[in-house]
Amino acid sequence: MDLEKVFAKVNDTLTPQPAVRFSIERGELGIFDSKIGGVPYFPKDMEYPYGKSNSFQGQPLSLLAQLNFERLPHIPDFPTKGILQFFIAADDLYGMTPKYGDPRTRQENFRVIYHENIITDESKLLSADEIPKYTGSEECYLPFRGAYKLIAHEPEMMPVTTADFRFNEEFVKYYNELADEPIDDFWDLEGELCDKFDKLCELMYRDIPDAVIGGYPVFTQWDPRIDDYLAECDVLLFELESVYKTDIDIRWGDMGTGSFLIPRDNLKARDFSKVLYNYDCH
């Protein structure tokens, strides 16, 4: 069995998608920069995001990431202007709801905010001292310590990975076209075929970006879009991996991944009201 041929057929169906990867670095951060953590760009005349449930009801959310599209390389359907922000609660689930289906896209303890037109007069923006602070009694948790620059690389084409919920179905379909003994799942592979599959997967995952927009998601556990309602969230809006180095400390639980996905039509319309937020770890 030529598994390379099967993988190639899957890539012909689930075609590589344009992506911009980011390096994560220490450095001086400005209010308008693309970054992890730090002081968000936020107009004084705009309502700051607060949590809506559990221990974070009525408590301010924290900036996870900020993307200034006026300073980023462009990929299709993504903005060419404005600032996009991801806010999360500092609770034990980092603002994610544990429920499946519709609740996973309800922005109760996380918020995705798009500022289409950037105000350059900093006197009209909240300063670090003016950002609302948590006043609750619960212990706070965030998947990062400190604040970091996001350094964008040139756009590239990113192939699908086995983490995508569509991969298994496509793999099985093409495998069974060539196999003497059909399978129902790639987990059914045994012996040399299983070893070969694992080696191909190692090649697939050898260059996973620390942070990325576009491309394909890389979930630590499983793709939540196996729920039919979430399947339409087909664009990776932003993903952040755990990165633990001497001067960088980003850890989603036990070295997991945080992902935000959006329906393509919503992205084109700059409508960020429906976003799937998922975090998982080992």
Return the bridge partners of 65, or none: 36, 86
Q: Which two tokens stand for residue 239?
A: 């993903």
Burial 203-227 (b: 16+ CB within 10 A, else e): ebeeebbbbbbbbbbbbbeebbbee
Q: How confident is the model at residue 101 (pLDDT cuts 50, 70, 90)?
A: low
What percent of the chain lies above the pLDDT cut of 70? 99
Domain count, the chain: 1
Q: How confident is the model at residue 180 (pLDDT cuts 50, 70, 90)?
A: confident
Return the bridge partners of 262, or none: 235
Residue type, 270: R
DSSP assignment of 203-217: HHTTT--SEEEES--
Lowest mean pLDDT among 98-102, 140-144, 237-241, 277-281: 98-102
Mean pLDDT, all residues of the chain: 94
Q: Is the pLDDT of residue 103 over 70?
A: yes
Q: Is the pLDDT of residue 98 over 80?
A: no
Sign of CA dihedral 108, 109, 110, 113: positive
pLDDT at 44: 98
pLDDT at 227: 84
pLDDT in tens, 81-91: 999 999 999 99
**The sheet that has 243-244: what strands, in order across it?**
144-145, 249-250, 243-244
pLDDT at 282: 73
CATH of the domain at 256: 2.30.320.10
Contacts of 140 (CB under 8 A, 6+ apart): 90, 91, 134
Domain span including residue 209: 3-280
Identify the residue with better confidence: 58 or 1: 58
State the residue for tokens 């968000």. 40
Cβ neighbours of 181 (radius 10 Å) = 7
Q: Distance between CA 188 and CA 182 in Å, rounded?
A: 9
The length of the chain in residues reads: 282
pLDDT in tens, 184-226: 999 999 999 999 999 999 988 888 999 999 999 999 888 999 8
Q: What is the mean pLDDT of residues 255-280?
A: 96
What pTM does this model have?
0.95
pLDDT at 207: 86
Distances (CA, A) of 184 to 3, 104, 122, 181, 227: 16, 29, 58, 10, 19
Q: Which two tokens stand for residue 183?
A: 């399978």
Q: Is the pLDDT of residue 137 over 90?
A: no
Q: Is the pLDDT of residue 10 over 80?
A: yes
